[in-house]
């Protein structure tokens, strides 16, 4: 039976991970009741992210807990290498922390005139009053322009850093939002990010996940990045909305992943997606530790099967 996890899990899965023989997200799909998986493609030219209030028209297309609209593989190119990123590493985690809830949500309808949408990017929708943020970006995380209606006073500096530096803006986003990504003329995904969401990822802003429990923060949704280290890092850079989450957390685990030599790790403490989820949920006090351990047992069995096949194939060559 599925584990009825109190903290839901949202997995952002790199497009090249979906059919990998050792991808562990399938175990999370089978073992967790409250889990959603969104396929994420690299940005090869330009992309636009539209962030809206939960309860807007776009929200009507989503089910509770988040859902996604995904493109077929045929409409996308393969993953490109990213300069200055480590290559072929293991899956890294995603964190969640608690978000403050603002008492009121007052939006200014003043949008920057410089925020027009190019057909090439693919957002065919007009600016609407429920739009909180629009971000236009190119590959490798380069933000080209930002428009937002998070502050009541009209400001000249429509920058991403301005949003991050504003407690008022972050309080509005803490109430939750719907994020839609447009790329190459199509909607790639649409995801509801509920209040209490946080990212499990070792960014500079990340706190230890056990600190979350000590501070008695109410976590409701854990966002995890599924990919090799280089792929996870690129997803983080090319999805700037992740930085708008009020809490990033990280695991501090000594030792090696159950992947061992079957799938390479860059260093100790880098774990598979399912290991990251299990250890994070244990840290925040999920009620069924036995059920979590069962998922690790399944993962270990999957790795052993792959190792055995690898050894058998190597023996045939000799």
| Of residues 188, 193, 190, the one with CA closest to residue 10 | 193
pTM given for the model = 0.76
Q: How far apart are CA 180 and CA 59, in angstroms?
A: 10
- Reported residue count of the chain is 318
Domain range summary for the chain, segments of one domain joined by +:
8-317
The two most distant CA atoms of the chain are separated, in Å, by: 72
Q: How far apart are CA 170 and CA 185, in angstroms?
A: 30
Q: Give me the tens of pLDDT residue by residue for the chain, a chain 318 residues long.
A: 689 999 999 999 999 998 888 889 999 999 999 999 999 999 999 999 999 998 765 554 454 445 443 433 333 322 233 333 333 333 333 333 323 222 222 333 333 333 333 334 444 455 565 789 999 999 888 999 998 888 765 555 568 888 998 999 999 999 999 999 999 889 999 999 999 999 999 988 898 888 876 666 788 999 999 998 899 999 999 999 999 998 899 998 877 788 766 666 656 668 889 999 999 999 988 889 899 999 999 999 988 887 777 666 656 665
């Amino acid at each position: 039976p599925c584990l009825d996890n109190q903290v839901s899990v949202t997995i952002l899965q790199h497009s090249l991970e979906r059919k990998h023989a050792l991808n562990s997200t399938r175990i999370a799909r089978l073992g967790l009741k409250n889990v959603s998986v969104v396929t994420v493609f690299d940005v090869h030219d330009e992309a636009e992210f539209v962030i809206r209030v939960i309860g807007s028209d776009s929200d009507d297309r989503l089910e509770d807990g988040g859902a996604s609209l995904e493109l077929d593989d045929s409409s996308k190119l393969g993953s490109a290498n990213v300069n200055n990123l480590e290559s072929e590493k293991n899956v890294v985690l995603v964190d969640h922390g608690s978000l403050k809830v603002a008492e009121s949500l007052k939006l200014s309808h003043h949008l920057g005139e410089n925020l027009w949408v190019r057909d090439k990017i693919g957002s065919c929708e007009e600016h609407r009053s429920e739009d909180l943020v629009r971000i236009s970006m190119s590959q490798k995380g380069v933000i080209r322009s930002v428009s937002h209606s998070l502050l009541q006073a009209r400001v000249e500096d429509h920058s991403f850093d301005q949003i991050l530096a504003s407690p008022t803006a972050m309080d509005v986003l803490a109430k939750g939002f719907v994020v839609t990504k447009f790329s190459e003329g199509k909607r790639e995904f649409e995801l509801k990010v509920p209040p209490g969401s946080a990212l499990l990822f070792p960014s500079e802003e990340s706190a230890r996940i056990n600190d979350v429990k000590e501070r008695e923060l109410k976590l409701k949704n854990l966002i995890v990045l599924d990919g090799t280290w280089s792929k996870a890092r690129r997803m983080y850079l090319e999805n700037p909305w992740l930085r708008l989450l009020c809490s990033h957390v990280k695991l501090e685990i000594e030792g090696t992943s159950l992947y061992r030599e079957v799938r390479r790790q860059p260093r100790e403490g880098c774990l598979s997606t399912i290991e990251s989820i299990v250890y994070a949920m244990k840290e925040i006090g999920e009620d069924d530790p036995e059920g979590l351990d069962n998922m690790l047992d399944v993962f270990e069995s999957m790795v052993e099967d792959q190792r055995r096949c690898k050894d058998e194939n190597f023996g045939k060559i000799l």
